[in-house]
């Protein structure tokens, strides 16, 4: 083996053209899914305080932002809805005229080239804030499945291109796949939030979605942050149930899980760079304590290097703009 002084690893780092040629990981707008929040009303673009740069959009404003994302080359958006009213059964989630269903219709009409992915969960719609319906003080897995399946079908009927179940109920991918098939939607893919941890990094999102559980927490259905082998079982089970794409969430503190999933499975792999990860960067950036742009690019590149094919990130638009400026 060659070693120093013949071996000089710095040779390939001297000039930018060669640095570019030997770069192993790339970042491009096509690697991103842009998550967005949609609310009832007109003309609304309300800043979400703990997530600077993110907004609650009414549908008319949402489509404008989606059009900007499309112009930047971002292929897909992921929608979260704020219902007019929350109730124990989370009924607006599967209402054919619910906020998400209407938002999907509007985007497919105004920005038809944009792929629309919908979150399939109940926590934004339930008054108790849990991801399923409650029976005897507990989240009832099997009773929730039927409602998740109904949610997915109404979203796809409205025009959603892909559904992404995030409730962490056992059997949710199968229930949704079966129901989509029964309704003639065999060709609509399912992206499973396969390995989703019970994470404090969702804090800002819960402020944004008003989805903080009113009692207890999500540890009876989301995963223990201490477990990585169990994540492989979750992913294997989503795949067995028919998931077309699998996800690890959050991303930054779970890069080992992303890497393991990449090595173990050949399915397309997504990673969710969640709200808390975003907010920390924004907060430190606003203080001038970090170089926000470089840190953001470094984090996202690292998530791709760990093995993610694409990244769900609130940074999607700004990063796509930066990448475009550099071209």
Binding-site ranges for ligand PBG (CB under 6 A): 119, 121, 123, 131, 166, 202, 205-206, 211, 274-275
- CA–CA dist 98, 229 (Å, integer): 38
Q: Are 63 and 111 in contact (CB under 8 A)?
A: yes
Is 31 or 222 the residue whose CB approaches ligand PBG more closely?
Answer: 222
Nearer to ligand PBG, 106 or 121 (CB): 121
Helix, strand, coil abundance in the chain, percent, nearest 5: 45, 20, 35
Element containing residue 296 per DSSP (H, E): helix 292-306
Q: How far is the CB of 37 from ligand PBG (least distance, A)?
A: 10
Question: Which C-beta is closer to ligand PBG: that of 165 or that of 307?
Answer: 165
Which CB sits closer to ligand PBG, 119 or 234?
119
- Note whether 79 and 102 are within 8 A (CB): no
Q: What is the DSSP letter of 220?
A: T
**Residue whose tokens read 């999500």:** 218
**Minimum distance, C-beta of residue 278 to ligand PBG, in the bound complex (Å):** 7
Residue 183 burial (CB count, 10 A): 15
Coil, helix or strand for 47? strand
Which C-beta is closer to ligand PBG: that of 29 or that of 204? 204
Dihedral over alpha carbons 159, 162, 165, 166 (to 10 degrees)? -110
CA distance 257 to 167: 19
Alpha-helix runs per DSSP H in 161-268: 172-182, 203-209, 229-241, 255-264
Find the shortest distance in angstroms from Cβ 100 to ligand PBG: 12
Which residues participate in catalysis according to the annotation? Answer: 196, 249
- Closest distance of CB 154 from ligand PBG, Å: 17
The least CB distance from residue 17 to ligand PBG, in Å, is 37
């Amino acid at each position: 083996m060659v070693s120093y002084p013949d071996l000089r690893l710095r040779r390939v780092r001297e000039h930018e053209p060669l640095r570019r040629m030997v770069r192993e990981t790339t970042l491009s707008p096509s690697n991103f899914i842009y998550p967005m929040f949609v609310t009832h009303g007109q003309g609304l673009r309300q800043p979400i305080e703990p997530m600077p740069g993110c907004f609650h959009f009414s549908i008319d404003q949402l489509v404008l932002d989606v059009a900007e994302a499309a112009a930047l080359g971002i292929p897909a958006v992921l929608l979260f809805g704020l219902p007019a009213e929350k109730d124990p059964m989370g009924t607006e989630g599967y209402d054919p005229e619910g906020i998400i269903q209407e938002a999907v219709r509007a985007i497919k009409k105004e920005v038809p080239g944009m792929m629309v992915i919908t979150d399939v969960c109940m926590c934004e719609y339930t008054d108790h804030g849990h991801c399923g319906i409650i029976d005897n003080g507990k989240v009832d897995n099997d009773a929730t499945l039927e409602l998740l399946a109904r949610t997915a079908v109404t979203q796809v009927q409205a025009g959603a291109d892909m559904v992404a179940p995030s409730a962490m109920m056992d059997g949710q991918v199968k229930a949704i796949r079966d129901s989509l098939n029964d309704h003639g939607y065999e060709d609509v893919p399912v992206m499973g939030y396969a390995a989703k941890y019970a994470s404090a990094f969702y804090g800002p999102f819960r402020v944004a979605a008003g989805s903080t559980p009113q009692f207890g927490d999500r540890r009876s259905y989301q995963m223990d942050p201490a477990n990585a082998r169990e994540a492989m079982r979750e992913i294997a089970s989503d795949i067995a149930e028919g998931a077309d794409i699998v996800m690890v969430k959050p991303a930054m503190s779970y890069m080992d899980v992303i890497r393991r999933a990449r090595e173990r499975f050949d399915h397309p792999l997504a990673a969710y760079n969640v709200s808390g990860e975003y907010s920390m960067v924004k907060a430190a950036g606003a203080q001038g304590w970090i170089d926000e742009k470089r840190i953001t690019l470094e984090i996202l590149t690292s998530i791709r290097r760990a093995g993610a094919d694409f990244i769900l990130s609130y940074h999607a638009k700004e990063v796509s703009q930066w990448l475009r400026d550099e071209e």
